[in-house]
């Protein structure tokens, strides 16, 4: 059981970890919400890390020509491959509500109280 001080150690960001792989050199651009976190020619495996605010919806878009998303994790939870879509060189993961509300719906974990922003 956690003590009182551990309960106060709440992170107000969601850590996003992506692993991309390419069999050959190709341009790749990774956009998380409005931040371009990678925009270069990718030669082989890369690890990317980013964070978003806890109550912010998430929109990840990867523009590529032959890259493969090996892993997409949110605070250590693996979301790939079932929770995304890829169409013609654009890979996309999107929530229209804050991530943990979306995750409860997507994984059928039951009720989740709505957070109040002051």
Q: Which residues pair with 29 in a beta bridge?
A: 39, 63
- pLDDT of residue 76 exceeding 70: yes
- pLDDT of residue 87 exceeding 90: no
Confidence at 110, pLDDT banded by 50, 70, 90 = low
Asked if the structure places residue 116 within a domain, the reply is: no
Q: Which of 30, 17, 13 is nearest to 98 (CA)?
A: 13
* Structural domain count, the chain: 1
Q: Write the DSSP symbol of residue 80.
A: T
Q: What does the pLDDT read at residue 115?
A: 59
Say what percent of the chain tops pLDDT 90.
50
Asked if the structure places residue 1 within a domain, the reply is: no
Asked if the structure places residue 93 within a domain, the reply is: yes
Asked if the structure places residue 117 within a domain, the reply is: no
Asked if the structure places residue 57 within a domain, the reply is: yes
Q: Are 85 and 62 in contact (CB under 8 A)?
A: no
Mean pLDDT of the chain: 86
Say what percent of the chain tops pLDDT 70.
84
Q: What does the pLDDT read at residue 53?
A: 94
Domain extent, residue 46, equals: 12-106
- pLDDT of residue 112 exceeding 60: no
Q: Are 61 and 31 in contact (CB under 8 A)?
A: yes
Asked if the structure places residue 91 within a domain, the reply is: yes
- pLDDT of residue 5 exceeding 80: no
**pTM for this one?**
0.81
CATH code, domain with 38: 2.60.60
Asked if the structure places residue 3 within a domain, the reply is: no
CA distance readout (Å), 9 to 3, 74, 79, 84, 103: 11, 18, 25, 31, 22
Taking only the tens place, the pLDDT of each residue in 10-68 is: 778 999 999 999 888 999 999 999 999 999 999 889 999 999 999 999 999 999 988 88
Asked if the structure places residue 4 within a domain, the reply is: no
């Amino acid at each position: 059981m956690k003590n009182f001080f551990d309960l106060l150690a709440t992170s107000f960001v969601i850590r996003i970890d992506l692993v991309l792989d390419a069999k050959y050199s190709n341009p790749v651009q990774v956009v998380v919400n409005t931040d371009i976190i990678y925009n270069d020619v990718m030669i082989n495996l890369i690890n990317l890390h980013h964070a978003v605010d806890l109550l912010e919806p998430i929109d990840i878009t990867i523009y590529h020509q032959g890259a493969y998303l090996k892993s997409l994790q949110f605070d250590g939870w693996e979301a790939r491959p079932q929770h995304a879509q890829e169409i013609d060189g654009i890979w996309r993961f999107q929530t229209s509500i804050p991530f943990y509300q979306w995750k409860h719906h997507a994984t059928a974990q039951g009720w989740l109280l709505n957070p109040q922003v002051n």
